[in-house]
Chain A
Amino acid sequence: MPDTKLKRHPVRGALFGLMLGISAAYFLYFQFAVFGFDTVGGVLTRFVIIILVGVVVGVAWAYLAPAKQPKEPRESTPPAAVAQESPDEA
């Protein structure tokens, strides 16, 4: 059994992805005019799609990104525990 366990953050990923998606939609439409204003329905649909893509990317990143190493070195076994284990070994 490995000595470490993985803790994932899909909710954080969704929230940060939402922020990224909203800002991406804003820049793509209003700042760089990458997408056109053909109809209100078309604009809203693409806006929602861009935001959803941001959320999906965020969640996917939470699962697929390379894991961070533990911040601190492994704690040594407490002396008390060692003392309790010793009689069993004997």
Chain B
Amino acid sequence: MARYRRAFAAALIILGVAAAPALAQEETEQAVIDVGPFITRGEGFVDLNGDGIPDLGELDEGFAGIWDDNVGAQTPEEFAALVTDRIPAFDTTGDASVLVGACGGLAISYDDMGMSVDAMIDNGDSNPLIDVFTGDQAMTSGNPFRVDPAGVVAYWGFTRDLPNFSVEGEIAGVNYQEPAPSFHDHSWTVAVMGASADRGGDPNQRDKNRNAGLVFLGEIFGDLDTGPIDLTELRANVKAKGAIIDLYAEGDPAGRRLPDDFDLALIEAEADGKEFCFGEGWVEFIGSGPPIGATALAGILAAAGFAGLLFNVRPAQTWRSPTSMPTLGS
């Protein structure tokens, strides 16, 4: 009878571990910061799910930077090589998020239905990134930026007007028009888990100091051939970082590239006194997770291991055999 009670208790524990996340689903959070001032263009940006963040509307197609990598510029093999080659220099110690430099902006993640999932904002000041829903620091390991891998991330970015921005670049044959402070001849890069995920740059002869765009994660992940693994259902916390340096491609018509493996110290050294921005933090992909078959297999393994420890590993007492017992005369 005791064995059945223990088996029942073990089943309850396993059920509790498996069901706890589903039972712990939160009610709809409410934004504590008004992001409306950022969204001045675009049709149909209205709050449909009642969380205070405008849900995804229509945006006109924009223009890529002249030196931006095109979609699919790297083959899966090239990307895999970057992952394995660049890992050793990646910082694994920081749990917090960092944003250094005169950059700020807003990022909103949307699910595959266009409903807002998470949002964070940086005012371009010395304060860290802020979670729009909680007002706490965003992109930390404990409060990552939550992203639907089948959805979309919308971003609005800006730079503060500072006197040490360049007023024009030095690419031969480019008309930089009226001098105005902003990033010129710049180069930028974004890395995930230490591998360069995207990069680009632009002479920026129109002196842009604002930018907005959409990242269609569902399309990007959906196009990757990863065998039985569906990346649009990815459930994981990953570390991401990015950097941009003013005048890094100065005088280089092809657009000089930033190093693939970088940290704040390296970016500071590469900037060599020029204006730059560097940021890193944690992103949580909130897909449904691995296929049900793999999870079921892991569940069976867990149940077997737990039951084995409970019933088959405990020390067992046995009677000494009568032949080994001392006789009365000895």
Contact = CB atoms under 8 A, between A and B. Distances in A.
Q: What band does the interface of chain A fall in when counting residues whose beta carbon is under 8 Å from B?
A: 35 or more
Most chain A CB within 10 A, of B285, B314, B327, is at B314
Contacts of B83: 40
Contact of A61 (B84, B313, B328): B313
SS class of chain B's interface: helix, strand, loop or mixed? mixed
Nearest to B94: A38
Interface string B35-46: 000000000000
A36 B238 contact: yes
Contacts of B316: 6-7, 9, 67-68, 70
Interface string B239-255: 10000000000000000
Contacts of A85: 327-329
B235 A30 contact: yes
A24 B305 CA distance: 10
Q: What band does the interface of chain B fall in when counting residues whose beta carbon is under 8 Å from A?
A: 35 or more
Given A5-B320, A58-B313, A67-B317, A36 B141 contact: yes
Contacts of A12: 308, 312-313
B237 A62 contact: no
Given A15-B308, A31-B298, A37 B329 contact: no
Interface string B287-329: 0011000110011011011101100111111111010011111
Given A23-B301, A37-B236, A5 B322 contact: no
A30 B90 CA distance: 22
A67 B325 CA distance: 21
B302 A23 contact: yes
B141 to A, nearest CB: 6
Interface string A35-57: 11111111000000000001001
Interface string B252-288: 0000000000000000000000000000001011000
Contacts, number: 159
Nearest to A8: B315
B193 interface: yes
Contact of A23 (B92, B298, B318, B322): B298
Contacts of B326: 1
Most chain B CB within 10 A, of A1, A3, A36, is at A36
A20 to B, nearest CB: 3
Contact of A39 (B92, B298, B322, B327): B92
A12 B309 CA distance: 8
A19 B319 contact: no
A41 B88 contact: yes
A67 B21 contact: no
Given A7-B315, A75-B322, A40 B309 contact: no
Nearest to B314: A65
Given A23-B298, A30-B235, A31-B295, A42 B92 contact: yes
Nearest to B238: A37
B238 A38 contact: yes
B313 A81 contact: no
B87 interface: yes
Most chain B CB within 10 A, of A18, A20, A62, A69, is at A20
Contact of B314 (A4, A30, A61): A61
Interface in B43-68: none
Given A1-B326, A61-B314, A88-B327, 8 more contacts: A5-B320, A12-B308, A20-B309, A31-B290, A38-B238, A65-B314, A66-B314, A78-B322
11 contacts: A4-B317, A7-B317, A7-B318, A9-B315, A13-B309, A21-B305, A37-B238, A39-B87, A40-B83, A40-B87, A89-B328
